A and B are shown apart, each in its own frame.
Chain A
Amino acid sequence: MATHVDDPRIIEFDVRTDEMLVNMGPQHPSTHGVLRLVLRTDGEIVSEVTPHIGYLHRCAEKIGENLTPKQWIPYTDRMDYLAGMNMNLGWALTVEKLMNLELPEKARHLRVIIAEMGRIASHLVGMGAYGLDLGTFSPFLYAFREREKILDLFEMACGARLTYSYLTVGGATHDLPPGWLKKCAKFLDELLPVITEYHTLLTSNAIFVRRTANIGLLSAEMAIDYGCTGPVLRGSGVDWDLRRDGETRYTEMYDGYAFEVIVEKDGHYPRDQVYPAVPGSAVLGDCWHRFYVRMLEVMQSIDLVHQAIDRYSTAQGAHAIPLKLNEKLPKGEAYLETEAPRGQMGFYIVSDGSPIPWRARARSSCFCNLSVTHEICRGCLIADVPAIVGSLDIVMGEIDR
């Protein structure tokens, strides 16, 4: 009970708050998929965050033990459903590593085009949904407008708009249709100025900066310790990108491409003079930096697709090596990670020599990225929790598999 005191300042100290457990989710609109967070709060301050996951668990790995690798491709689509192409690619490369398959040049460049377009589409949703998390609706609509055009291109290539199963073991299911490259190049030329516009919508928006700068700090050491990868790792200033540092089987896809890892060096991002400057309040490893890395990666991917289109149009060979659906796998095991939009997506295949893998394992990037939330949310405000979790850009389909 507050007793009467003359000095009004003393009352402040007399008000006691209780610790409270607040449940956020499992269907909170500002979480990406079905995530449930249990917050231990003291007033507005969050002292502990416990994520509860598994609401989208579909036993993908168990199913993978009962299907041939090619048949499992559609299940990889449904892991990170915002970047189905990149999931297909990860699994296809892993199986090719086990089978020791060398792909024709044309198939490799086709994969770069598709994978980087997938990255753009995914980062666009990431950007729009992050705006949504922070309470601004319009960037989401803009992002989806652009993404729609990429989906149109993907539909032209493989007939599907979300679950593609396009990149498959041995290459791709079809070659790109005539006229596709022209359409794709035209789209990229249109996208470039639009992205600059998006930068003004969010990146340099004063409210956005206030909500994200210096919030949810993740140090480089902690990011590595928790296995955070992708934009989350690079947003903490770690110069690491599998497209450059990964295994040869993956990096050879990008051989000879002009490519710079998007990471801050000495206070500058590559070519950052073109884009909004880093605001003074932003600290390396905060939500703003993670978001910014994603935005710059879109530009990077546009660049890469342009280069890939040039190479693809002069490349030799076919778009795929024909393989049977139940092709026999050699005995052995292989693990490969690729740089998916949300981080390093790893697949592990163990084979006993039959056409069906003994074990299919998916190492999810978001799974590791989310596991760091309890560290970076400690001591933040309740209103910052969606901002921090949103900045990790998670997709629950991939976490729960």
Chain B
Amino acid sequence: MSGPAFLDQLKKKFGDKITGANFEAIDPWIEVSPHGLLEVCRYLRDDPKLRFNMLNCISGVDYFEADPKKAAKTGWEPHLEVVYHLWSLPNKTSLVLKVILPRWKDGVVGELPEVPSVSGIWGTADWHEREVYDLSGVYFSGHPNLRRILCPEDWVGHPLRKDYEMPLEYHGIRGR
């Protein structure tokens, strides 16, 4: 199935839960709204024709430019993306899903944006969501065990945020 036809099919089924797509990209992607993510993912995995049974990777990408001069040229508003790379082993096809989130929930700095956890759909998501939470600062609601995974549990901040600053001190160790 071609990209646009597939998008039409998804749009017919899920309506405004599919918020956009890009087919010119090297890896074409489909944008899903956070509240429709679970439904779409379950469909992608269970539909007998699609069968995206493997979730390869979840990545958090922070779009934020601190320098106002550079920020004017970027062409995007500050936001956060959670990117899901899927494979269908039976069909040998891949798919990219994106969820666009605000950098902070309701614009309150320090409040992590929320996205539903897909750990009930793909087991891979369990650890990957913990990693994205840890490093990029996204709260996965419904995750059974959302704790930091790579950084120590008492670490402050989310290192892959573009405005992250190394702590001055961690348990008596100089940070910077």
In the bound complex, CA of A78 to CA of B127 (Å): 22
Contact B25–A346 (Cβ < 8 Å): no
For the complex, would chain A's binding face be called helix, strand, loop or mixed by DSSP majority? mixed
- Asked whether any CB of chain A lies closer than 8 Å to the CB of B43, the reply is no
- Which among B13-21, B32-40, B148-156 touches the partner chain? B148-156
- Asked whether any CB of chain B lies closer than 8 Å to the CB of A368, the reply is yes
In the bound complex, CA of A372 to CA of B63 (Å): 32
In the bound complex, CA of A344 to CA of B152 (Å): 27
- In the complex, chain B residues 83-112 whose Cβ is within 8 Å of any chain A Cβ: 83, 85, 89, 92, 94, 96
Contact A227–B26 (Cβ < 8 Å): no
Partner of A348, one of B85, B127, B148, B149: B85
In the bound complex, CA of A240 to CA of B90 (Å): 10
Contact A59–B61 (Cβ < 8 Å): no
Partner of B152, one of A54, A225, A333, A401: A54
**Given A222-B123, A332-B25, A333-B26, residue A363 in contact with residue B57 (CB < 8 A):** yes
Contact B123–A98 (Cβ < 8 Å): no
Partner of B59, one of A359, A368, A371: A359
Contact B150–A400 (Cβ < 8 Å): yes
B116-137, CB under 8 A of A: which get 1 and which 0? 0000001110111001000100
**Given A54-B149, A238-B89, residue A225 in contact with residue B27 (CB < 8 A):** no
Tell me, rounded to whole Å, the shortest Cβ–Cβ distance linking A250 to chain B. Answer: 12
Partner of B92, one of A245, A337, A363: A245
- Asked whether any CB of chain A lies closer than 8 Å to the CB of B56, the reply is yes
A337-374, CB under 8 A of B: which get 1 and which 0? 10000001010101010000011010100011001100
Tell me, rounded to whole Å, the shortest Cβ–Cβ distance linking B135 to chain A. Answer: 7
Contact B127–A368 (Cβ < 8 Å): yes
A361 contact set on B, CB distance < 8 A: 57, 59, 61
Tell me, rounded to whole Å, the shortest Cβ–Cβ distance linking B152 to chain A. Answer: 7
Contact B61–A359 (Cβ < 8 Å): yes
In the bound complex, CA of A59 to CA of B92 (Å): 32
- Asked whether any CB of chain A lies closer than 8 Å to the CB of B138, the reply is no
B27 contact set on A, CB distance < 8 A: 333-335
**Given A53-B149, A224-B89, residue A334 in contact with residue B26 (CB < 8 A):** yes
**Given A54-B150, A350-B61, residue A224 in contact with residue B53 (CB < 8 A):** yes
- Asked whether any CB of chain A lies closer than 8 Å to the CB of B54, the reply is yes
Q: Which residue of B lies closest to A363 (CB)?
A: B57
Contact B85–A335 (Cβ < 8 Å): yes
B94 contact set on A, CB distance < 8 A: 247
B30 contact set on A, CB distance < 8 A: none
Partner of B150, one of A57, A98, A100, A222: A57
Interface residues on A, range: 35 or more
A348 contact set on B, CB distance < 8 A: 57, 59, 83, 85
A53 contact set on B, CB distance < 8 A: 149-150
- Asked whether any CB of chain B lies closer than 8 Å to the CB of A226, the reply is yes
Partner of A224, one of B54, B131, B159: B54
Tell me, rounded to whole Å, the shortest Cβ–Cβ distance linking B28 to chain A. Answer: 11
Partner of A352, one of B62, B74, B83, B135: B74
- Asked whether any CB of chain A lies closer than 8 Å to the CB of B55, the reply is yes
**Given A61-B135, A335-B57, A361-B59, residue A371 in contact with residue B123 (CB < 8 A):** yes
Tell me, rounded to whole Å, the shortest Cβ–Cβ distance linking A376 to chain B. Answer: 12
In the bound complex, CA of A226 to CA of B128 (Å): 10
- Asked whether any CB of chain B lies closer than 8 Å to the CB of A97, the reply is yes
- Asked whether any CB of chain A lies closer than 8 Å to the CB of B160, the reply is yes
**Given A61-B135, A227-B122, A371-B126, residue A346 in contact with residue B26 (CB < 8 A):** no
Contact B85–A368 (Cβ < 8 Å): no
Q: A54-B148, A358-B63, A361-B61 are in contact. List 13 more A-B contacts (CB 8 A).
A: A53-B150, A57-B150, A61-B135, A61-B160, A224-B53, A225-B53, A227-B54, A346-B85, A348-B57, A348-B83, A359-B59, A367-B128, A371-B127
User: Can you spell out 19 A-B residue pairs with CB atoms less than 8 angstroms apart?
Assistant: A53-B150, A54-B149, A62-B159, A97-B26, A224-B53, A224-B54, A224-B89, A225-B53, A227-B55, A240-B89, A245-B92, A337-B56, A352-B74, A359-B61, A363-B57, A367-B127, A371-B127, A372-B123, A375-B123
Q: Which positions in A face B, CB cutoff 8 Å?
A: 53-54, 57, 59, 61-62, 65, 97-98, 100, 222, 224-227, 238, 240, 245, 247, 332-335, 337, 344, 346, 348, 350, 352, 358-359, 361, 363, 367-368, 371-372, 375, 400-401
